[in-house]
Amino acid sequence: MRVLLIEDDSLIGDGLKTGLEKLGLSVDWFQDGEDGNEALFQAPYDVVVLDLGLPGMDGMEILKDWRKKGKKEPVLILTARGDVDQRIAGLDSGADDYLGKPFALKEVHARLNALIRRSNGQTAPEISCRNIRFNPQNKKVFQDGKEVLLSPKELIVLELLMMNKNKILSKQVIEDKIYSWDEEVQSNAVEVHIHNLRKKLGKDFVRTVNKIGYIMEEG
C-alpha cells in the first residue's frame, strides 16, 4: 500500500515515514504544500496523511482542491491537539479522519489501515480468499489456519491481490504500489515477489494472466 505523506515538520515527517515503512507501507513524503498537492496526481496512492499548516499551500486548500478535482483518495488530517474547529473544518472539506498531535505511530497505522479498508469496500477487519486469511492490522497471514511468514514486500503484494480479489492486477500497478520514489526497482521485482509468494503459499494461490498481470480468485 502506498501512502502520500505531506508534513513540513522534519521530526514528525521523518518519524512517520520511517515508522510506517517498517510496518510495510511505502511512503512518499513531501514537506512543501504545492509539491504534495501535485504528487497525488502523479502516482496511485491508497491513502494520504495531510498536515494542515504547510509552506506553499496549506492543507485545507490542498484538500479542497483535490475534492473539487474529483480525487477520492482517503485523507487523514493531522491537527493541533484539541483544536475542534480545525477538525470540523477538515471533515467538512472532505477529510475522512483526523488525528491530533502528538500521536502514536500505532494509532496512525491503525487509522490508515481502516481508511484503506473502507475505501476498498472491505468492512471486516480480516480479508480472506479461499484458504488464505490476511489481517491488515497486524499483517498476519494464515493458510488453512496455519500462520505463514512473509517479507514486508511480499505482504504488500499479497494484501494488494487480496484487496482486489477477482480482479486482474497488472505488474505495473503492483510495482507502482509497492515502491516509493526513493527506492530502486529492479525490472523483474514483481515476478520475484510472486515467485517467492508461490513458494510459501503454493503455486495456485494466484493465477498469471497472459504475462500481463495476476489475479486471486475466490472459488
Element (H, E) at 14: helix 10-22
C-alpha cell at 185: 526497482
* Nearest-approach distance from CB 176 to Ca ion, in angstroms: 28
Cβ proximity to Ca ion: between 31 and 143 the closer is 31
Cβ proximity to Ca ion: between 61 and 175 the closer is 61
Q: Which residues of 137-159 are buried (b: 16+ CB within 10 A; e: fewer)?
A: eebebebeeeebebeebbbbbbb
**Segment 39-68, which members bind Ca ion (CB under 5 A)?**
51, 53
> Residues in contact with Ca ion, total (CB under 5 A)?
3
Contact call for residues 45 and 2 (beta carbons, < 8 A): yes
* Nearest-approach distance from CB 37 to Ca ion, in angstroms: 15
Binding string, residues 63-102; x marks residues near Ca ion by CB under 5 A = ----------------------------------------
Q: Where do runs of H (alpha helix) occur along 43-149?
A: 59-68, 84-92, 105-119
Contact call for residues 63 and 77 (beta carbons, < 8 A): yes
C-alpha cell at 112: 490508515
* Nearest-approach distance from CB 23 to Ca ion, in angstroms: 23
Among 8, 34, 35, 217, interactor with Ca ion by CB under 5 A: 8
Residue nearest to Ca ion as judged by C-beta position: 53
Question: Rounded CA gap, 126 and 133, in Å?
Answer: 7
* Nearest-approach distance from CB 52 to Ca ion, in angstroms: 7
* Nearest-approach distance from CB 20 to Ca ion, in angstroms: 18
Question: Rounded CA gap, 216 and 219, in Å?
Answer: 10
**Segment 161-200, which members bind Ca ion (CB under 5 A)?**
none
Binding site for Ca ion (CB under 5 A): 8, 51, 53
